[in-house]
Each structure stands twice: as structure tokens, then as C-alpha cells.
Amino acid sequence: MKEKVILAYSGGLDTTAIIPWLKENYDYDVICVCANVGQEDELTGLEERAKLSGAAKLYIEDLTDEFAEDYIMPCVKANAIYENKYLLGTSMARPVIAKRLVEIARKEGAVAICHGATGKGNDQVRFELGIKALAPDLKIIAPWRCNETWKMQSREDEIAYCKAHGIDLPFDASQSYSRDRNLWHISHEGLELEDPAVEPNYDHLLMLGVSPEKAPEEGEYVTMQFEKGVPVSVNGEKMKVADIIRKLNALGGKHGIGIVDIVENRVVGMKSRGVYETPGGTILMEAHTQLEELILDRATLTVKKEIANKLADVVYEGKWFTPLCKALIAFVESTQENVTGEVKFKLYKGNIIKAGTTSPYSLYSESLASFTTGDLYDHHDAEGFINLFGLSLKVRAMKEAENKNK
């Protein structure tokens, strides 16, 4: 029997061409694994396409709920945002896919895992670190780095290669944006976006919603309930996390929420420019943050912000299956015990506008915050506090004055 290789298969042109290339250069039986992480209609027709391309078997694995609950939510609870803008849509999806690739490799007795990520991007790092952490014995094949055998450098080359191997598939060589879509977001790269001086063509580019200019003239109120940091309902309707994200995607897309144009620093050392649509994720992050404002004490919130930045870096770099990532997530989870309550906001032309937040665990005290003197606060106490709080400043100033007078 031939040895088996597991191919991370999307059904796109790259992974379609990889199937005959693997058989030709390694003489493997190719087991395709397509991970459904919420990419919608991109899954249509995959089984027939994989078989026509020479695959021995195709798995289509629905990982949407696992992705939402075990990978998205830890980052939402942390408010993990890479370089203050990127909500980690692709970064969070890669480890759950890598995990399933390894599980099927074990089930099939495969000796290798292959992915179609390019040698310039972040995904090669994320996939391979995940595989190495979970299955260090498995061989990893990255065709785009196999210069001696992977001779294709363009879509035209890949189409010609497929046709030469009897694969006539509905791909053309027309240029388009490079996109990655899942439940959380869709990313766009290429074409005019490769020049940071050029404005994105939003009318041609956007897929999940509209630009703020084309959003409705009237805002829309939304209410969300959270329990221990996890969203449980939208507008009074209880739903699982994945369905809440879908609902928020529809609402956010309608009102032009969550469109960002970023120049980010990739793991491999270069800067890249992309446009990300994350309508539901932007709403969910903001709602969770609004609730935490009421509940977390100052010291915890301060440290949590530092943890969020570190976790964002760790996830972006593909280090999900590491002791550090586990420890960071554990800290965040410990802060969520009382993050329960209701958040109301208005969506209006790209904006999320607060409309009221309540929680049984709120630390906000109206009697303390009010200008009216309450029982818990004596204005005279502030004088002693300021004297001690500013003591080091006063001593320093006195010493500087003393030295000047010498």
C-alpha cells in the first residue's frame, strides 16, 4: 500500500494543483481535508473536484462551533487585537484546522501533512507550528517552498499544469483579490491594496456588508446578554456563539461596521497591506469591552490589557499550542467570573454607540461617582492621599532646588 499524505484542502486552484503534484513527486495517496470554519458557499462542489483531481478521499469537517467556542471566545474575552487593529480572524482559525489535520493523519495512518500556504505569508508559520506541537513525528510538505519540483509561479501555470494532468476545472487566470473567509471575518489582499498610497475600491471589494456611506440613514438598536464573558443572546433571542456571530455579521454588515484598512507586520518580517471585514466580531469585542468597564477593578483591567497584547502576538505568530498561550488564556478566564450583564448599543454608519450597560456585578456606584457627597467618600480624605501619592514628586523637586542653590 502507498503511504498517505493529508492535504489541507480548500478546493481553490492552489490546492487543486497540489493533488497531482503530490502524487507525481511523492507517490502518495492524497487524503484531502477541508475544514469548515464558516466560509459559507466556498464548500460547494468540493467532493467532485477533489476526486477529479486524483484525491483518494475527502473529509469535510465542520469545525464551526469548536472554532467559535474554543478559539474565538478566548480572544474575545481577552480583547486580543494585533497591533491595535487586526481582530485575528485568520490567526484564530489556523490552530483549529491544524489540530484536525493531525487528528485525521493519525486516523488514516498518514506520514505527512501538506499545506498550500506561500513562503511569504504568516499561514505557513501557523500551520507548521501547530503540527509540530501536536505531531512532531509527521513530515510537513510546503509545495511553494519546494523550488526543485514546484515550478508553478502563477495562476496560468497552475491551470496549465492541471490541464496537462487531465483536470479541467472551472478556474480562469483573471486576477482577483486574495481572500480568506471564515465565520469571524474576510480578508482582502492584492490588486490596488498592494500600494498603500491607493484608496481601496470598496464598491468592488466588500463582501460582508457596505461602506458606512452606503449604510442606512437610520440607526438600529441592539441588545446583548453575556454570562461569564460569553454572549448568550441577541435582542432577547438565545443562541449558541456561532449563531450569535452570524447574526452580528448581518447586523454589522448592514450598517458598515468593522471595515479596517491595515498595514501590518507579518511574522516573516515584511509589512503587508490588507482590508479586513469583521462586522460581527467588531460588535462582539466592543460589547464585551463595554461590559468589562463596569465590572473589572482598575488593577485587574490594567494587567489584562497587557495580557491581551501578549496573547494577540502569540496567536498571530501561530503559537496557540504552547504553555504560554495556555497560561495567558487561563489568566483571562479567571477575570470573567463576574462578566455577566446586558449591553445595549446603536449601530449607525460604521459606529457602535453606547446606549446603556447593566450588570449585577457592576462596581460602579452612583453615590460615589455623583458630585453629591455620599456616605462612602469624604472629600477631606483626598488631601492625605494626594500628599502620599505625590510625595516622591515633592521630594525630587526639593532636592533639585537644593542642588541649584549650592
Q: Is 123 a catalytic site residue?
A: yes
Query: Which three three-digit cell numbers place residue 209?
Result: 456588508
Q: What is the pLDDT of residue 75?
A: 98
> Cell triple for residue 279?
462586522
Q: Report the C-alpha gap between 278 and 280 in whole angstroms.
A: 6
Query: Backbone dihedral region of 191: left (phi > 0), alpha (psi from -120 to 50 degrees) or beta?
Result: left
Q: Is 298 a catalytic residue?
A: no
C-alpha cell at 314: 502569540
Per run of 10 residues, the mean pLDDT along the chain (length 406 residues) is 95 93 96 94 79 94 98 98 97 98 98 95 97 98 95 90 86 78 96 96 96 98 98 98 98 98 96 97 98 98 98 98 98 98 98 98 82 72 93 95 88
Given the DSSP bridges, would you call strands 4-8 and 112-114 parallel, antiparallel or unpaired? parallel
202 phi and psi angles, rounded to 5 deg: -60, -30
The whole-number pLDDT of residue 250 equals 98
How many whole angstroms separate alpha carbon 402 and alpha carbon 341? Answer: 55
Residues ≥6 apart with Cβ < 8 Å to 230: 73, 77, 241, 336
Distance CA 144, CA 34 (A): 19
pLDDT of residue 374: 64
CATH level 2 (architecture), domain 178-296+335-358: Alpha-Beta Complex (3.90)
DSSP3 helix / strand / coil % (the chain, rounded to 5): 45, 20, 35
- Of 100, 123, 126, 180, catalytic: 123
Contact call for residues 119 and 144 (beta carbons, < 8 A) = yes
Q: Which residues pair with 75 in a beta bridge?
A: none
**Residue 42: predicted pLDDT:** 63
Question: Which residues are 180's β-sheet partners?
Answer: 187
* Rounded to 5°, angle at Cα 344 from 339 and 349: 125
Query: What span, in angstroms and rounded, lies between the C-alpha atoms of 62 and 179?
Result: 20
H/E segment holding residue 177 = none
- Domain 4-77+88-164 part of CATH 3.40.50.620: yes
Catalytic residue among 10, 29, 53, 94: 94
CA separation for the pair 360, 340 (Å, rounded) = 7
Closest CA to 287 of 326, 344, 349: 344
Record the cell numbers describing residue 66, joined without a space: 469548536
Residue 172 annotated in active site: no
List the catalytic residue out of 10, 14, 29, 91.
Answer: 14
C-alpha cell at 298: 482598575
Residue type, 237: E
The answer to whether 14 is a known catalytic residue is: yes
Tell me how far the alpha carbon of residue 183 is from its chain's centroid: 10
What is the rounded distance in angstroms from the CA atom of residue 365 to the CA atom of residue 362? Answer: 8
CB 161 within 8 A of CB 169: no
Task: Single out the catalytic residue among 65, 70, 178, 211.
Answer: 178
Nine cell digits for residue 79: 480583547
